[in-house]
Amino acid sequence: MVEVVAGYEKTGDLLLTSSAGYYLGVALAGQDKPDRAARVWEQIIARGWDSPAAFNQLVGGVGTIDGRADLEPMRPSRSARRNPRSRNPRGADPMIWRPNKAQREERRALLDVKVGLVDRAFDRYPIGSFADVGACWGAHGGYTFHALERYRVTDAVMLDGDLTAPTKERAMNWPQLRLEEGDLGDRRLLDSVGKVDALIIFDILVHQVDPDWDVFLRRYAEHANFLIIYHQCFVDEASTVRFIDRGLDYYLAHTPYVGQEAEIADWFSRHEQPSRKFDRKVARDSYHYWQWGITQADLIRVIWEAGFQVDFLENFGPWWDLPCIENHGFLCSRRSRNQSAE
């Protein structure tokens, strides 16, 4: 059950915010319409709607968001403005349709499509152990904890470059869960996985350089029999591209960094300097930024070359308002020896 409190939607102990949903929640809650607010929240999160057109469709009589008319009903209440989570750290107009970096880091949404992908995998495959690779960003390990709470799991590993405090605290309740922190591409971290039934790989392939995303995926795939992948497929080119190789303008036009142009330009200027996170890498290879536009065809090819077949594939629509990026879900199983020989 979704509970809207002061413009926030709460699921379990995770707070969710959305550039559209937050302000809609504030407006509806402020008008004593919590049931409608909850229904709208559920639709926004489940369908990934975060555009003016979709938002207006849901808002109905509350107001329209077109940048000109009827904005006042959508402003946060006085109590919500006092909540530091409701502030736009850049002081920009709050009616934003692609969230900026601070808003994305603040967002704690477990997307229904990803939860559904995990559930479908556990229903389809014999999974008693798994590793969640890159588990913390935007979710605090929420997909791992969902699996632990719902299914019989004897061994789980959570890997991330930055294990968050809420993740560590919640992990203390699960003795079968191991936490490993470090560069996901580092062999030490990879070896810590051991052998597991499945890998959860959500939203991280576009960030992987040194090793590149394809080598990264093949190496991790050696440790499991099933892959659960949620990935941003690039649909503007026939083959995979390294965004930064096309220059700053191309990068900004094809990646979700609206409002962060100055930060991205600064990163471009530091490309050959040592990385601020891992000394073994230069800044241009930082996993903090999108690196690749990976096509569906190339991803499926690498999955096959790693010894797996795709058993389930679904297109969940565009990434925010970027038509060149589509969110795709994959469930994959290791092929038999006979299949691999074909």
* pLDDT for residue 35: 57
* pLDDT for residue 138: 78
Residues of CATH 3.40.50.150 domain(s) within the chain? 112-236+279-341
Residue 189 near residue 180, CB atoms below 8 Å: yes
Any idea what the Cα angle at residue 128 is, between residues 124 and 134, rounded to 5°?
A: 90
DSSP symbol at 187: H
Pairing of strands 322-334, 177-181: unpaired
d(C-alpha 132, C-alpha 202), whole Å = 8
- Indicate if the pLDDT at residue 184 is higher than 80: yes
Tens of pLDDT along 49-75?
Answer: 444 444 444 444 333 333 322 323 333
| C-alpha dist (Å) from residue 115 to 6, 126, 144, 178, 201 | 25, 17, 10, 21, 13
Between residues 162 and 20, which one has the greater pLDDT? 162
Between residues 172 and 337, which one has the greater pLDDT? 172
Put residue 48 in one of left, alpha, beta given phi > 0 → left and psi -120 to 50 → alpha: left
* pLDDT for residue 318: 87
d(C-alpha 16, C-alpha 13), whole Å = 10
- Indicate if the pLDDT at residue 79 is higher than 60: no
Name the average pLDDT for the chain: 75
d(C-alpha 177, C-alpha 155), whole Å = 6
Residue type, 331: L
Topology of domain 112-236+279-341 in CATH is Rossmann fold (3.40.50)
- Indicate if the pLDDT at residue 324 is higher than 90: yes
* pLDDT for residue 137: 82
- Indicate if the pLDDT at residue 176 is higher than 70: yes
Between residues 89 and 179, which one has the greater pLDDT? 179
Between residues 164 and 133, which one has the greater pLDDT? 133
State residue 119 phi and psi, 5-degree precision. Answer: -60, -45
Between residues 219 and 35, which one has the greater pLDDT? 219
* pLDDT for residue 243: 97
Residue for token pair 């008693």: 128
Alpha helices per DSSP H over 31-175:
34-47, 52-59, 78-82, 101-106, 112-124, 142-150, 165-171
- Indicate if the pLDDT at residue 128 is higher than 80: yes
